[in-house]
Structure 1
Amino acid sequence: MNIDEMLREAMSVEGAVGVSLVDYDSGMTLGAQGGNALLDLETAGAGNTEVVRAKLRTIAALQLDDTIEDILITLQRQYHIIRPLTETHGSRLFLYLVLDRARANLALARLHLRRIEQALVV
């Protein structure tokens, strides 16, 4: 599965509002689908880069032998899921998926992202 296919697949998740693939070294969005006037995926991707970096620094400071599976941010009307991709994809990337909280099933969305990650070829 390539990046465009991955983004389309992520947008098929029930309640999906937008999705992007972000490089957390640079904060650059490599691809995005969805979004709207209230959801600028490039700005959100750059901002969430800081979230990922902060958590990675915390894991290192605590000397945890572990990795981030995903980061969930719950808002009143949305879920934001940040899923760092494994290093086997060759770079430091994360998927960022925004869901409409009223229409989404969080557990199914997380499962769907896990499957997408396994099929992704960067």
Structure 2
Amino acid sequence: MANTETALKEAITIEGAIGAALVDYTSGMALGTIGGGKEFDLTVAAAGNTDVVRSKVRTMEHLGLKDEIEDILITLGTQYHLIRLMKGRGANGLFLYLALDKDRANLAMARHQLKKIEAELDV
């Protein structure tokens, strides 16, 4: 089982990765970040994507959908933003966030690798 730091270090090695974070969507706080920079503040991204997750969860409740969100993909002109909701003991209310450079990333492979990281992460 990997800890937060190890999981984020593995996430940033995904081809095309710009930054990654483990986020608590009940508070909007990033529990850990890696990458990013002056032009890409992962703390701001974590807080903003918390609103995306909360909105989708609320919408599913209103629709009466009895299903789970695996991941949420946001496609920008030059980037992919991947949000993977965590499952399992102690992981409720958390998500992994990964920003990717669209020209360098393989989206299918990134989703696969992020799923593997999530499965190995012990929070």
TM bin, normalised by shorter chain, reads over 0.9
- 2:78 maps to which residue? 77
Matches for 1:25-40 after TM superposition, within 5 Å: 25-40=26-41
Q: Which residue of 2 aligns with 1:105?
A: 106
SS for the counterpart of 1:98 is: strand
- For residues 17-49 of structure 1, give each alpha carbon's deviation from its aligned partner in whole angstroms, at most 9, with x where no partner exists: 000000000000000000011110000100000
The 5 A counterparts of 1:38-49 are 38-49=39-50
Q: What is the alpha-carbon distance in structure 2 between the residues aligned to residue 49 and residue 99 of structure 1?
A: 18
Q: Which residue of 1 aligns with 2:3?
A: 2
Runs of 4+ in 1 over 4 A off after TM superposition: none
Tell me the secondary structure at the aligned position of residue 89 of structure 1.
coil
Q: What code does the residue aligned with 1:93 have?
A: L
Identity %: 55
Between the aligned partners of 1:49 and 1:8, the Cα distance in structure 2 is 22
Instruction: For structure 2, list consecutive stretches of 5 or more residues without a partner in the other structure.
Output: none
Q: What's the C-alpha RMSD, in Å, of the aligned pairs?
A: 0.8
| Partner residue, 2:62 | 61
Q: Structure 1 65/91 Cα, relative in aligned 2: closer, same or farther at 3 Å? A: closer
Structure 1 residue 87: Cα displacement: 4.3
* Counterpart in the other structure of 2:118: 117
SS in 2 for 1:6: helix
TM-score, normalization: structure 1? 0.97
Secondary structure of residue in 2 paired with 1:103: coil
TM-score by length of 2: 0.96
Structure 1: gaps spanning 5 or more residues:
none
Report the AA paired with residue 66 of structure 1.
D
Report the 3-state secondary structure (helix = DSSP H, G, I; strand = E; otherwise coil) of the residue aligned with 1:25.
Answer: coil
Query: Which residue type is aligned with residue 25 of structure 1?
Result: T
